């Protein structure tokens, strides 16, 4: 059985060709915010190399170059299948590298995706505190000086991202700020984005063509798997 045949997602599902970039400095709590703003009935896939980094480090792999190669191969394999199914995605990262964000946005745009950015705000003090708590919990150390530098860098980039992404919302995740009211507001905006018709010209044309031909996946006639995988290879080069 081919992998795609084991999936229930298809051209007729909600949320197809929608990508949300999660932005903010280390310790902002992006993963937590993701869990709170997922649209009901829609399960976006999460593109994050950090997940695989932590998983593979459990195996005490000390060869970082080998580790990065494994992360890339595993990630591209999963991303290829997700893109082939046009699944909605969350792109998780610190956003300290604007070139990387824009390249990845362009890659998704070429596949026909609409994009949105959710920016997560916290104070520097909260970011440092959360990094310390995370180290105690999972043993992952992040140098406080790195966090301070990243905090400054990322916040300087915010207006650039805000001007780039047509859909841009901010969520305050400092202590006591992520109230039920704030979560509901962000949830509604995310839901509105995921459930809206595809605005990307290439994406809308692809959807129309696939429905006309009875196709469910990109490799049914729009783009073969090798081309999808090759395009995603650029994801890690910026």
Domain 3-236 has CATH 3.40.50.300: yes
Closest CA to 15 of 214, 232, 198, 188: 198
pLDDT band at 6 (very low <50, low <70, confident <90, very high): very low
The dihedral through the CA atoms of 65, 67, 68, 73 has a sign that is positive
**Secondary structure of 172-220 in HEC code, one letter for each residue:** ECCCCCCCHHHHHHHHHHHHHHHHCCCCCHHHHHHHHHHHHHCCCCHHH
Rg, Å, the chain Cα set: 18
User: How many CB atoms lie under 10 A from the CB of residue 139?
Assistant: 9
Per DSSP, the three-state class of 17 is coil
Task: Tell me the per-residue pLDDT of 30-62, one tens digit each, with 9 for 90 and over.
Answer: 888 888 887 667 889 988 765 545 544 544 555
pLDDT for res 39: 65
Q: Please give the C-alpha separations between residue 119 and each of 66, 100, 147, 210, 234, in angstroms, as whole numbers.
A: 32, 16, 17, 33, 24
Ordered by start, the domain boundaries in the chain are: 3-236
pLDDT for 220: 96
Alpha helices in 112-176 (DSSP H): 124-138, 144-164
Phi/psi for 7 (5° steps) reads -95, 150
- As a whole number of angstroms, the distance between CA 172 and CA 33 comes to 10
What average pLDDT does range 51-75 have in this prediction?
Answer: 64
Q: Which residues pair with 20 in a beta bridge?
A: 90, 116
CA of residue 161 relative to chain centroid, distance: 15
d(CA 14, CA 28): 29
Interaxial angle between packed helices 98-111 and 225-232, expressed in degrees from 0 to 180 and rounded to the nearest 10:
170
Residue 116: the pLDDT is 96
Residue 9 has pLDDT above 70, yes or no: no
User: Could you tell me what percent of the chain has a pLDDT over 90?
Assistant: 50
Helix orientation angle between 49-57 and 64-84, rounded to the nearest 10 degrees = 140
CA–chain centroid gap for 172, Å, is: 19
**Helices of type H across 4-63:** 30-37, 49-57
């Amino acid at each position: 059985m081919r992998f795609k045949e084991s999936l229930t997602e298809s051209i007729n599902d909600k949320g197809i060709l929608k990508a949300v970039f999660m932005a903010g400095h280390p310790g902002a709590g992006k993963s937590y915010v993701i869990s709170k703003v997922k649209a009901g009935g829609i399960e976006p896939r999460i593109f994050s190399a950090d997940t695989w980094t932590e998983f593979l480090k459990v195996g005490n792999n000390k060869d970082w170059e080998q580790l990065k190669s494994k992360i890339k191969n595993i990630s591209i394999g999963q991303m290829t299948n997700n893109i082939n199914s046009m699944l909605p995605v969350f792109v998780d990262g610190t956003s300290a590298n604007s070139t990387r964000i824009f390249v990845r946005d362009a890659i998704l745009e070429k596949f026909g995706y609409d994009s949105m950015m959710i920016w997560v705000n916290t104070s520097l003090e909260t970011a440092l505190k959360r990094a310390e708590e995370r180290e105690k919990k999972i043993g992952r150390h992040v140098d406080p000086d790195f966090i301070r530098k990243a905090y400054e860098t990322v916040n300087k980039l915010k207006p650039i991202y805000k001007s780039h992404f047509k859909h841009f919302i901010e969520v305050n995740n400092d202590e006591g700020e992520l109230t039920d009211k704030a979560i509901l507001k962000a949830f509604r905006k995310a839901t509105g984005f995921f459930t809206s018709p595809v605005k990307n010209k290439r994406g809308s044309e692809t959807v129309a063509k696939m429905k006309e031909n009875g196709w469910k996946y990109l490799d049914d006639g729009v783009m073969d798997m090798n081309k999808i995988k090759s395009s995603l290879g650029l994801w890690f080069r910026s």
